[in-house]
Amino acid sequence: MLANLITRAFQLLFGAVVLGLSISAIKWQHFGSAPATSSYSAFAGAFGILAALIGIAASFIDAIPDLIMAVVDALASVLLLAGGIAFAVGLKGVTCTDDVTTAYNSLLNGGCYGSGDKKLCGFPVQNYKGVLAGRCRTAEADAAFLFLGFLASVAAAVLCFLASRRGGRGVKHSAV
């Protein structure tokens, strides 16, 4: 049960960090709607939190079968992995210290309207390098925590699956 609770604590922590970073990314969008990657990552983080909370409850409540928790954790794993991959793909070729690659990246620039010399994007003219570099580091951290949440969810799913295969009373009373 201790290993399960530790895994759940990490799952909860990583889900909360992903949700917070993703909401920050959504908030810096000034023109148009937020990129689907940011919105999806917020959803994945929230689902990771939900899976962790249900898993913690399942550790103490016998009415929630271990196999059901393994399925919930597997779904959380898939959602978090997809979010991490989406962020990694969205940030491909972006260097946080390069203001050109960050300014033209839709995950980082806050949205743009207009074209050519009349193009205006959602970051301030003053200190734009610092703002874009900060957004870039936030997005990179979001991607990293999505992958860490994936690993925690896989670990939780494996623990639940093994407990269900063992029979008996599952992770609630297991030696693990």
The residue that leads in pLDDT, 153 or 106, is: 153
Give dist(CA 97, CA 40) in Å, integer. Answer: 26
Residue 167: per-residue pLDDT: 67
Percent of the chain with pLDDT over 90: 59
Q: How far apart are CA 137 and CA 21, in angstroms?
A: 10
pLDDT score for 173: 47
pLDDT in the model for residue 172 = 52
User: Quick count: other Cβ atoms within 10 Å of Cβ 119?
Assistant: 11
Q: Is the pLDDT of residue 164 over 80?
A: no
Q: Which amino acid is at 73?
A: D
HSE-CB at 162 with a 13 A cutoff on CA atoms is: 14
Among 86-95, 127-136, 151-160, the range scoring the smallest mean pLDDT is 127-136
The Cα 119–Cα 85 span in angstroms is 29
Lowest-confidence pick of 41-45, 89-93, 120-124, 130-134 = 120-124
Given this model, what pLDDT does residue 154 score? 96
Closest-CA residue to 19 (of 38, 50, 47, 46): 46
Considering the chain, what is the average pLDDT of its residues?
Answer: 89
pLDDT at 39: 96
Cβ pair 142, 21 in contact under 8 A: yes
3-class DSSP state of 120? strand
Is the per-residue pLDDT at 74 higher than 90?
A: yes
CB 113 within 8 A of CB 120: yes
pTM of the entire predicted model: 0.87
